[in-house]
Amino acid sequence: MGSSDVLTPAARAALERLLGPDRLRTHVPLAPLTTFRIGGPADLFYEARSAEELARAVTAARDLGVPFFLLGLGANILVGDLGFRGLVIRNAARHIRVEAARHRIRAESGAIVYPDLIDAAVSHGLSGLEHYAGIPSTVGGALWQNLHFLSPPPERARTMFLEEVLLEADLLTEDGRRTTVGKDYFDFGYDYSILHVRRDVVLSATFQLEPAEEAHLRSVIRANLQWRAERHPPLETEPSAGSIFKKVDGIGAGRLIDACGLLGTRIGGAEVTHRHANIIVNRGHATAADVCALIAHVQAVVERETGYRLEPEIAFVGEFAPPTSTPPYTVPKPPGVLTARERIALKKERADPIEKKAEGDDRKAE
Ligand SMILES: Cc1cc2nc3c(=O)[nH]c(=O)nc-3n(C[C@H](O)[C@H](O)[C@H](O)COP(=O)(O)OP(=O)(O)OC[C@H]3O[C@@H](n4cnc5c(N)ncnc54)[C@H](O)[C@@H]3O)c2cc1C
């Protein structure tokens, strides 16, 4: 299928005129633009380099009736193998401004949370964003999801949410208005904001931070990066979209998946990694069809064994081929890899009070 299916030649010419013929590209592979490294091409593709370009591209697509998808870092999505029929707008509007005297930082919505935004804040001695170090995200994606992570060690007392430091955001609303809204507008929840149901586009956001010692903030960042390195498969060699399923009744999906003996289950190139039961990794040649078949298999086994129905937390984008029909099989745990259960048991054995505390962290972080 080609772009002609969603676009008349006149609409295509109008889009080129509005966005620039050299900037509007066709048949652009989306896999390299996602952390899963999976997915077919976008019929049409445009990279917005400023909030103004982002607003212009969204407005043009809406006015011309062209279906569009707004792509951040692609860290919370699975793109279908058949790609996207319409225009993918990649948000590369990354300008960041620190207002040190007011302890504020303002960023265009394509700004990268870590390292760019967090480094800018921390190097000005501003606290509130350091908790999210190591999470792949743009500012827009972070608001869509209400980015969250544990509070600093050793207590790791609670889950912190990005909403806590959001002061206001500039939007292009679904009805085409430019407006500034406060955090209440977003109706934030766990893995939720109003952006899940309204087609508003975040153009930029301002965060209200607190002054703090830069050395302390850097130590929080180091601890959080280490926490991730110990628990998560490295994106460079084991691409993923982070956690696949939502919590159910407050129970981490990983706990249920592990209890059902699903670690190491593989379909095609998609695998429930031994490192983290709620993460599916791309073993290098995975298709979206493999991932969808594995998701369905995990859902069916967990529901049969525990009665809980797991729901994906990632977004599904574009056109999907039928799920892979080859049966699942289990791969052995690679040498040197610790499962979550083994890691917790090892820490208990060491009986270190801080490590004991970390057992609780594992439960909260799922
Ligand atoms: C290894 C790994 C670890 C992770 N760990 C965590 C974690 O600890 N905590 C956590 O909360 N998440 C985590 N995630 C999930 C992911 O990082 C977040 O959901 C992140 O916020 C996604 O941002 P993105 O820019 O990649 O958005 P994308 O995946 O590109 O897009 C997600 C959705 O947001 C929409 N969107 C993007 N920009 C805008 C905008 N400007 N306006 C309106 N809508 C927009 C998109 O259209 C899409 O619907 C992890 C992911 C990975 C791969």
Q: Please, what's the b/e burial string for 144-175 (b: 16 or more CB within 10 A of its CB; e: otherwise)?
A: bbbbbbbebbeebeeebbbbebbbbbbbbeee
Distance, in Å, from the CA atom of 184 to the CA atom of 227, rounded to the nearest integer, reads 31
Mean pLDDT of 345-352: 73
Inter-residue contact 258 to 277 (CB < 8 Å): yes
44 by DSSP, 3-state: which?
strand
| Residues 68 and 27 sit within 8 Å (Cβ to Cβ) | no
Q: How many Å lie between the centroid of ligand 1 and the Cα of residue 72? A: 7
| Share above pLDDT 90 across residues of the chain, in percent, rounded to a whole number | 86
Atom of ligand 1 nearest to the CA of 71: 30
- Which residue do the tokens 């529901």 mark? 303
Q: What is the pLDDT of residues 58-80, one digit of tens each?
A: 999 999 999 999 999 999 999 99
Residue pair 262/270 in contact (Cβ under 8 Å)? The answer is: no
What pLDDT digit, counting tens, does each position of 188-214 carry? 999 999 999 999 999 999 999 999 999
Question: How much is the mean pLDDT over the chain?
Answer: 93
Is the confidence at residue 351, as pLDDT, over 70?
no
Q: State the span(s) of the chain assigned CATH 3.90.78.10.
A: 236-365
Contact in structure between 242 and 157 (CB atoms under 8 Å): no
CATH architecture of 236-365: Alpha-Beta Complex (3.90)
- 342: which 2 tokens? 């083994």
Nearest residue (CA) to ligand 1, atom 3? 242
Grade residue 365 by pLDDT with cuts at 50, 70 and 90: very low
Q: Ligand 1 centroid vs 305 CA: distance in angstroms?
A: 31
* 53 C-alpha to ligand 1 centroid (Å): 21
C-beta separation of 123 from 214 below 8 A:
yes
Q: Within 6 Å (CB) of ligand 1, which residues are found?
A: 35, 70-77, 91, 109, 135-138, 140-142, 144-145, 147-149, 195, 201-202, 232, 235, 240-242, 315
**Mind listing the pLDDT tens digit for each residue in 69-121?**
999 999 999 999 999 999 999 999 999 999 999 999 999 999 999 999 999 99
Alpha-carbon distance 323 to 362, whole Å?
Answer: 32
What is the pLDDT, as a whole number, of residue 324?
98
Q: Which residues contact 236 (CB under 8 A, 6 or more apart)?
A: none
Which class in CATH covers the domain with range 96-226? alpha beta
User: Which are the contacts of 88, defined by CB distance < 8 A and separation ≥ 6?
Assistant: 28, 30, 42, 44, 45, 46, 68, 69, 71
Tens of pLDDT, residue by residue over 122-134, are 999 999 999 999 9
Whole-number Cα distances in Å, 59 to 24, 92, 215: 15, 17, 44
What distance in Å separates the CA atoms of residue 129 and residue 141, rounded to the nearest whole number?
A: 15
Encode pLDDT of 154-199 as tens digits: 999 999 999 999 999 999 999 999 999 999 999 999 999 999 999 9
Give the orientation angle of helix 214-231 with respect to helix 340-350, to 10 degrees: 120
CA distance 267 to 329: 7
Ligand 1 pocket test target in 68, 145, 362 with most atoms within 8 Å of CB? 145
- How far apart are the CA of 113 and the centre of ligand 1, in A? 10
Show Cβ contacts of residue 337 under 8 Å, excluding neighbours closer than 6 positions.
274, 275
Tokens describing residue 4: 């002609």
Which of the listed residues 35, 53, 62, 135 should we mutate to test ligand 1's pocket, taking the one with most ligand atoms within 8 A of CB? 135
| Ligand 1 center–CA 140 separation, angstroms | 8
Write out the CATH class of domain 3-91: alpha beta
Instruction: Return the residue whose CA atom lies nearest to atom 39 of ligand 1.
Output: 140
Q: How far is the CA of 133 from the centre of ligand 1 (A)?
A: 14
The alpha carbon of 71 and the centre of ligand 1 are apart by a number of angstroms equal to: 9
Which atom of ligand 1 lies at the shortest distance from residue 365's CA?
A: 8
Residue pair 316/291 in contact by the 8 Å Cβ criterion? no
Q: Which atom of ligand 1 is nearest to the CA of 69?
A: 47
- Please state whether beta strands 166-172 and 201-208 pair in parallel, antiparallel, or not at all (unpaired): antiparallel
Residues 6+ apart with CB under 8 A from 219: none
Predicted pLDDT of residue 134: 97
Distance 138 CA to ligand 1 centre (A): 7
Q: What is the location of CATH 3.30.465.10 in the chain?
A: 96-226
Cα of 4 vs centre of ligand 1, distance in Å, is 30
Examine the pLDDT at 366 and tell me if it is beyond 60.
no
CB 266 within 8 A of CB 276: no
Nearest CA to ligand 1 atom 17: 136
Contact 153, 133 (CB under 8 A): no
Lateral strand order in the sheet of 104-108: 96-99, 104-108, 201-208, 166-172, 178-182
